[in-house]
Structure 1
Amino acid sequence: MNSYSRVKTGYNKKKIKVLILTAGLCMGLTVGCGKSENKYTYRDAGIEALNAGDYESAIASFDEAINASNALVGAFDIDVLKYRAEAEYRAADYQAASDTYGILIQVDQERPEYLNMRCVSRAQTGDLNGALEDYKRASELDTEKNAPGRAEALLAAGAALENQGAAAEAMALYESAKAEGIESAELYNRMGLCKFGEKDYETAITCFAQGLLKPDAASVPDLIYNQAVAYEYKGDFDKARELMEQYVAGNSSDEEAARELEFLKSR
């Protein structure tokens, strides 16, 4: 068995069903329906729902706002589309978010922030080639290297490279991110995965440990799991069992980890 398959890579290859065709969305933008005086009310309701975490209601309100806009695509529609894309992404409807960012690219220029977020959305749907293309194009446009979503897109692009077997290229990307001052638990997780794939378990363990020291470490529970597996492959079963017990204690629904723990207890 390939050792790389044992760690949690975070790849999501499941395609999410497209709920609305892009062409239909563009038609809705240009034609519009309803009374324009309601569009601000719908937008405000959508923002309120978005802030409350009610993403489905937010998306519905943003659609109503667009439908209530009688003009051709303008600043209002672009503003609403940005909110809708954010709501779709937060709702984990990554295909819809990717489609909406695609519309923004069409109607509001090829901006790096749109490309960054489409990159991340595409990666979540499993479109790793598309994600990598978006990241590269965003990097060309973002000469200041400070466009919103850059760090997230960089991680998504790195994951795409890893998945294509280009771990060295991915590692170079992560190292450049560190040089730019981008520091996060997920960055160190991905660096650790690259080293694990190269069977450099000692360095992988170090990367995972550094990730666990970051302020956002709680958002990347895979760090503990992956570190445990790295210790296992290094031959330190006691440490691997200790870490896996720690992981399972906080992730009791993870059946894969529970089986792994039973295996480690038998060693």
Structure 2
Amino acid sequence: MDKKNDSRRRINRIQSSDYDTPVKDAPGRRQRTSKTDPNVRRRTSGTKNGNKSGKVRRMPTDAGNPASKKSTRPVSGKGSHPGKRKSRRRKKQQVIGRSIQILLIVVLAVVLFLVIRNFGDANKLNNKGLQAYESGSYEEAISYFDQALSHDGGNVDYYINKAMAQTELKLFDDASATLDAAENVASDGEDQLVYRARGILLLSKGSYQEAIDAFDTALDGKESKFSSTELDILYYKAEAQDRAGLYVDAVMTYTQIADTKASADVYMLRGLEYVKVGDSTSAESDLREAIRRDKKNYDIYQALYWALSDQGRTDEATAVLNEALDLGGNSGEALVNQGNIYVQLGDYASAQERFERALDKKNAEANLGLANMYVAQQKYSEALPYFEAYVGEVTDNASAYNDYGNCLMAMGDYEKAQQIFTAGVALNNRQMDQILSKNQISAAEYAGDWSAALEYINTYLTKYADDADAVREKTFIQTRIR
């Protein structure tokens, strides 16, 4: 029998009374330490690990040292120390904390990315809407603004842009609802833009006093040192006052503008209001100041011409037009302006020569000039082809449609005039809409189309409900239908 088995038998013959209390040494094995022979040879960690003597190697102890007793404390687990457990817990908590921080950073980055992307998409759609608006494609513009709002429903500008497109289509109730939504999301600084838009809506609708009130709310009582936006609001307010027949108020509003930012335009507009007030002296002063500031603006010369003519100052009026002619110029635009002045002076040969030269330069306005030249001479049939040529090329000039329709009315072609006025109304031009709408009704009446006339006047009254003459006209039309 080999030595290893013999050693095991010898260990098994040792009596249990010769040993101390058992202690844990390894999983599944109990070992005892001999009282009598500390060097007893037995299978120990020494023999397992290559210690040939087989002796148990004990660390020296200080049996009499009280400190050794203090260091002996109960433990749990695999020999772990409470300080080490706390350290592990802290490390675990730190790992969890860092993981949460990283997760939050990732979430914020994703949210920021989505917000930026949505903003970019919404802004692009809004820009497309503005392009469609500028080209007169208002329904297409509304579609783009709606898409922009689907990406950014809190953007006040998108609501306002949509409302303006709806206003151009005379969808006043829809526009008002859109502005209500804008007001709900607007901050304090954005309220001004909402009230400005509401004022424009009411101005287009023909509710002039309500428009003035809206513009006043937008200005919030401010009376000087206006911003560029506030100056724009004042221009709209003055227009509403003019439409309402409040000419003195309009003069005061234009004065506020001039005091903040004087320009040829504001002096011309105030001068025209002075004409309506009957203050010819102030009118002439303002119009001459406008010319001094912008000597090449033919519109101002013509405004001064009419202001002087209304006073019976014919010679002075003619002198003003001659001043304009002295500006000269050989461009298509300059030739058209010269032609228009010659028409006012009654020099039709010179006017025709200027217009034909402008036509050679491919200036479309020359066709309108020739048409109006023939109308001034009551040569209506000769004017027609030039009107046709002009509206065939320039489709958004509401004033031209009005001139064309009036020419047809003078010829007695009421049905065609009705069609032309209707086309002009469809342009939704704020400044010409009321005039065109009235002429549309009149053409239908002359054509004997009373059902259409009633339809037109009902539409007119939805926009200009304060027009007492139109209310009486509606009653007259209704009697003709019965």
TM over 0.5: yes
Q: Secondary structure at the match of 1:175?
A: helix
| Aligned position for 1:107 | 185
| Aligned position for 2:148 | 65
Instruction: Using the TM superposition, give the Cα deviation of residue 132 of structure 1 relative to its aligned residue in structure 2, in angstroms.
Output: 0.5
TM-score norm. by structure 1 comes to: 0.60
Please tell me whether the aligned partners of residues 160 and 197 of structure 2 are also in contact (alpha carbons under 8 angstroms): no
State the alpha-carbon separation in 2 of the partners of residues 202 and 247 from structure 1: 26
State the alpha-carbon separation in 1 of the partners of residues 377 and 367 from structure 2: 13
Name which of 261, 265, 283 aligns with 1:204.
283
| Aligned position for 1:6 | none
Q: Residues 155 and 54 from structure 1, CA distance in 2 versus in 1: closer, same or farther, beyond 3 angstroms?
A: closer
State the alpha-carbon separation in 2 of the partners of residues 112 and 165 from structure 1: 25
Q: Secondary structure at the match of 1:193?
A: helix
State the alpha-carbon separation in 2 of the partners of residues 123 and 235 from structure 1: 34
| Aligned position for 2:126 | 46
Instruction: Using the TM superposition, give the Cα deviation of residue 44 of structure 1 relative to its aligned residue in structure 2, in angstroms.
Output: 0.8
Instruction: Choose 191-200 or 77-86, whichever is displaced more.
Output: 77-86
Instruction: Using the TM superposition, give the Cα deviation of residue 116 of structure 1 relative to its aligned residue in structure 2, in angstroms.
Output: 2.4
Q: Residues 151 and 198 from structure 1, CA distance in 2 versus in 1: closer, same or farther, beyond 3 angstroms?
A: same
Instruction: Using the TM superposition, give the Cα deviation of residue 232 of structure 1 relative to its aligned residue in structure 2, in angstroms.
Output: 0.8
Name which of 175, 191, 209 aligns with 1:129.
209
Please tell me whether the aligned partners of residues 203 and 240 of structure 2 are also in contact (alpha carbons under 8 angstroms): yes
Residues 1:190 and 2:269 are matched in the alignment: yes
Instruction: Using the TM superposition, give the Cα deviation of residue 213 of structure 1 relative to its aligned residue in structure 2, in angstroms.
Output: 4.4
Q: Secondary structure at the match of 2:368?
A: coil
Instruction: Using the TM superposition, give the Cα deviation of residue 121 of structure 1 relative to its aligned residue in structure 2, in angstroms.
Output: 4.1
Q: Secondary structure at the match of 2:220?
A: helix
State the alpha-carbon separation in 2 of the partners of residues 160 and 208 from structure 1: 21
State the alpha-carbon separation in 2 of the partners of residues 183 and 74 from structure 1: 39
1:119-175 alpha-carbon deviations (Å, 9 max, x no partner): 234324422112100122122265885455321221222233334443333222222
Q: Residues 167 and 158 from structure 1, CA distance in 2 versus in 1: closer, same or farther, beyond 3 angstroms?
A: same
Residues 1:226 and 2:303 are matched in the alignment: yes
Max Rg structure: 2
Q: Residues 143 and 159 from structure 1, CA distance in 2 versus in 1: closer, same or farther, beyond 3 angstroms?
A: closer
| Aligned position for 1:235 | 312
Instruction: Choose 128-137 or 253-262, whichever is displaced more.
Output: 253-262
TM-score norm. by structure 2 comes to: 0.37
State the alpha-carbon separation in 1 of the partners of residues 175 and 290 from structure 2: 29
Instruction: Using the TM superposition, give the Cα deviation of residue 230 of structure 1 relative to its aligned residue in structure 2, in angstroms.
Output: 0.8
Q: Residues 85 and 144 from structure 1, CA distance in 2 versus in 1: closer, same or farther, beyond 3 angstroms?
A: farther
- Structure 2: stretches of 5+ with no match in the other structure: 1-114, 322-339, 345-350, 352-364, 379-482
Please tell me whether the aligned partners of residues 223 and 256 of structure 2 are also in contact (alpha carbons under 8 angstroms): no
User: Identity of aligned pairs, percent?
Assistant: 17
How many residue pairs were aligned?
Answer: 218
State the alpha-carbon separation in 2 of the partners of residues 205 and 62 from structure 1: 45
State the alpha-carbon separation in 2 of the partners of residues 216 and 119 from structure 1: 33
Q: Residues 137 and 188 from structure 1, CA distance in 2 versus in 1: closer, same or farther, beyond 3 angstroms?
A: same
Letter in 2 for 1:198: V
Instruction: Using the TM superposition, give the Cα deviation of residue 113 of structure 1 relative to its aligned residue in structure 2, in angstroms.
Output: 2.5
State the alpha-carbon separation in 2 of the partners of residues 121 and 247 from structure 1: 37
1:46-105 alpha-carbon deviations (Å, 9 max, x no partner): 314525844634432121232x34xxx853x4342244356x29x955766953445322
Name which of 102, 120, 142 aligns with 2:200.
120
Please tell me whether the aligned partners of residues 211 and 217 of structure 1 are also in contact (alpha carbons under 8 angstroms): no
Name which of 354, 368, 371 aligns with 1:253.
368
State the alpha-carbon separation in 2 of the partners of residues 154 and 167 from structure 1: 14
Q: What CA RMSD, in Å, does the superposition of the two structures yield over aligned residues? A: 4.3
With a CA cutoff of 8 Å and minimum separation of 6, indicate the structure with the bigger relative contact order. Answer: 1
Q: Residues 188 and 109 from structure 1, CA distance in 2 versus in 1: closer, same or farther, beyond 3 angstroms?
A: same
Instruction: Using the TM superposition, give the Cα deviation of residue 188 of structure 1 relative to its aligned residue in structure 2, in angstroms.
Output: 1.8
Letter in 2 for 1:232: S
Please tell me whether the aligned partners of residues 184 and 216 of structure 1 are also in contact (alpha carbons under 8 angstroms): no
Instruction: Using the TM superposition, give the Cα deviation of residue 191 of structure 1 relative to its aligned residue in structure 2, in angstroms.
Output: 1.2
Please tell me whether the aligned partners of residues 116 and 150 of structure 1 are also in contact (alpha carbons under 8 angstroms): no
Letter in 1 for 2:368: S
Q: Secondary structure at the match of 1:59?
A: helix
Q: Residues 254 and 238 from structure 1, CA distance in 2 versus in 1: closer, same or farther, beyond 3 angstroms?
A: farther
Please tell me whether the aligned partners of residues 264 and 290 of structure 2 are also in contact (alpha carbons under 8 angstroms): yes
Q: Residues 132 and 83 from structure 1, CA distance in 2 versus in 1: closer, same or farther, beyond 3 angstroms?
A: closer
- Structure 1: stretches of 5+ with no match in the other structure: 1-35
| Aligned position for 1:160 | 240
Letter in 2 for 1:61: Y
Q: Secondary structure at the match of 1:149?
A: helix
